[in-house]
């Protein structure tokens, strides 16, 4: 795991290392070991290591995600991701809007496996220092993903996910680890670390996440 992932996750883990007892708050849906019904907002940053895109190193990212458990077995997501890559007097902007569906497998008392597909679109823009668009490309994307959710306690949850996205502009794979701590039954703060790679580059990033459970 990259240094951004390690710093984010180690900081959160250290903060709540003393939380060794499960709380009986009783807010699990369908007896699931983690919360699935939430709206989350994430911000973060990282570094791009590229063989062909010289000078594009600083990256900022944002994420808005609406997830809910349709029934005991099926999960759905509506998600927006924004990625800004800075280089000289220009910057790249990539916007992703996706809808996904996944099957949940309750394989252990404290954890779930899940796997699903993702459909959506991506828009990539090259902009100058004034924010004006120099070039723009749009494309349809298709993705698959699989992961593990685990409830360490009623308040502390963890997630690990692998994802692959395919579209004409490029393709990318990613691996993510995250932790979330619920301060109340409806609000949590967390941290994540993610590595994204394709044939030409690797993006290491980390950030913080706020979730509002409904």
Q: Is 6 a domain residue?
A: no
- Average pLDDT score over the chain: 82
Distance CA 73, CA 68 (A): 11
Q: Is residue 112 within 8 Å of 148, Cβ to Cβ?
A: yes
DSSP-based three-state secondary structure for 5: helix
Q: In angstroms, rounded to a whole number, what is the distance separating the alpha carbons of residues 76 and 74?
A: 7
The tokens 């349709």 sit on which residue? Answer: 70
Q: Is residue 1 part of a domain?
A: no
- What's the CA gap between 100 and 120, in Å, rounded? 8
Q: How many domains does the chain have?
A: 1
Q: Are 149 and 194 in contact (CB under 8 A)?
A: no
What pTM was computed for the model? 0.79
User: Can you say how many angstroms the Cα of residue 167 is from the centroid of all Cα atoms in its chain?
Assistant: 19
Domain that holds residue 96: 36-213
CB distance 14 to 204 below 8 Å: no
Whichever domain contains 204, its CATH number is 2.40.128.130
Give the pLDDT band of residue 25 (cuts 50, 70, 90). very low
Residue 65 lies in a domain: yes
Kindly state the tokens that stand for 47: 């570094």
> What pLDDT does 130 receive?
66
pLDDT tens, 182-214?
A: 999 889 999 999 999 887 778 889 999 999 998
> Which pLDDT score, from 0 to 100, does residue 33 have?
83
Q: Strands 201-213 and 38-50: what pairing?
A: antiparallel
Decide if 14 is inside a domain: no
Mean pLDDT of the 128-156 span: 84
Q: Is residue 4 part of a domain?
A: no
Residue entry with tokens 């959710």: 149
């Amino acid at each position: 795991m990259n240094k951004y992932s390690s710093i984010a996750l180690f900081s959160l883990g250290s903060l709540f290392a003393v939380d060794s007892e499960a709380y009986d708050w009783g807010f699990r849906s369908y007896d699931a070991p983690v919360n699935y019904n939430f709206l989350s907002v994430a911000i973060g940053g990282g570094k791009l290591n590229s063989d062909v895109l010289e000078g594009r190193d600083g990256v900022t990212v944002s994420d808005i995600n609406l997830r809910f458990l349709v029934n005991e077995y099926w999960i759905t997501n509506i998600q927006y991701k924004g990625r800004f890559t800075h280089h000289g007097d220009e910057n790249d902007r990539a916007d992703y809007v996706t809808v996904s569906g996944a099957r949940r497998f309750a394989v252990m008392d404290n954890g779930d496996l899940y796997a699903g597909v993702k459909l959506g679109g991506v828009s990539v823009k090259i902009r100058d220092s004034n924010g004006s668009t120099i070039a723009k490309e749009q494309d349809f994307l298709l993705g698959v993903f699989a992961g593990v959710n685990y409830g360490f306690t009623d308040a502390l949850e963890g997630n690990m996910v692998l994802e692959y996205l395919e579209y004409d502009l490029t393709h990318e794979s990613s691996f993510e680890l995250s932790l979330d701590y619920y301060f109340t039954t409806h609000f949590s703060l967390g941290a994540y670390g993610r590595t994204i790679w394709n044939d030409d580059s690797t993006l290491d990033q980390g950030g913080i996440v706020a979730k509002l459970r409904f």
